[in-house]
Amino acid sequence: MLLMNRRKFVQSAAAGLATSSMLSQTALAAPAGRLNQSVCYWTYQKWFTLDQLCQEAVRIGLKGIDLVTPAQYPTVQKYGLTPAMTASTTPNDISVGLNRLENHDRVIASIKSDIVAAAAAKVPNVITFSGNRKGLPDAEGLENCLTGLNKVKPFAEEHGVTVNLELLNSKVDHKDYQADHSAWGIELVKRVNSPRIKLLFDIYHMQIMEGDVIRTIQANIAWFGHFHTGGNPGRHEITEKDELNYAAIARAIADTGYTGFVAHEFNPIGTPPIKGLEDAFAICTV
């Protein structure tokens, strides 16, 4: 799935903001901390080219860029950054996932193609989804996803790439999405039982659906392969207005010994927009 298909995003460049930000090449003072932090490209695509965002990421201290395509891997890697999570390729997308058997052939082919490209570029993660319910009972959807992921499992293991099924909220942003609670996803990946099949735990989405974020992370870190952040309500910058204590959440993740990526995925509304990313990095540097 193309990045801009994943989020219906209005293209309205503000080149002045990007240019002024790029003039400052002084590295931020914050240390790297225990977490590998990255940023989702689509959230800053309105203001920065990928090259510009990579330069800002290096300046800030981030280690990767999330949700980029194979064609974009070389741009990310030339700055010493990791393409931390590949963007999915249609038909493997949010509404059409693995919860329906009739979708399996084409969705699995798409996932395998993403795995091959990721393995060749040493990209650690690819993404997949449950799909929308459309009346399908949760138990049946889970069984169908289990069947699909069991078909993907040996391929992912052979190539050394982790497939992450994303948990999303069905209350605000993705109506009818099936993998909308952590318990459903955890049961699924436990039954798949592979080090290469995990969950993308989106903190913003799971706060909306269930809360109790830190306890869930601590109890189930073995099943989480990737994290996304975002302020709630609104999915904007992480600020004092956020109902989530991201410093505490980041510390809890780091304390588990987690070695993957925590990617910032929020829609900036502050000025300049890059300040939100600088602040998020500082907050999550633990």
Q: What is the predicted pLDDT for the residue at 19?
A: 36
Show the domains of the chain with their CATH numbers: 33-283 (3.20.20.150)
Mean pLDDT value across residues 114-136: 98
Beta strand pairing call for 64-68 and 36-40: parallel
Query: Is the pLDDT score of 150 beyond 80?
Result: yes
The token pair that represents 224 in the structure block = 């989480």
Query: Is the pLDDT score of 188 beyond 60?
Result: yes
Mean pLDDT value across residues 126-153: 98
Any idea of the CA torsion for 14, 20, 21, 25, to the nearest 10 degrees?
A: 150
Name the percent of the chain lying above pLDDT 70: 89
Q: What is the predicted pLDDT for the residue at 31?
A: 62
Query: Comparing C-alpha atoms, which of 230, 265, 235, 242 is closest to residue 43?
Result: 265
| pLDDT tens sequence across 59-68 | 999 999 999 9
Query: Is the pLDDT score of 232 beyond 80?
Result: yes
Query: Is the pLDDT score of 241 beyond 70?
Result: yes
**Cα 163 from chain centre:** 12
Q: What is the predicted pLDDT for the residue at 240?
A: 84
* Average model confidence (pLDDT) across the chain: 91
| pLDDT tens sequence across 7-42 | 343 333 333 344 334 333 334 444 679 999 999 999
* End-to-end C-alpha distance for the chain, whole angstroms: 33
Strand partners, 126: 163
User: Taking the model in full, what pTM does it have?
Assistant: 0.89
| pLDDT tens sequence across 205-225 | 999 999 999 999 999 999 999
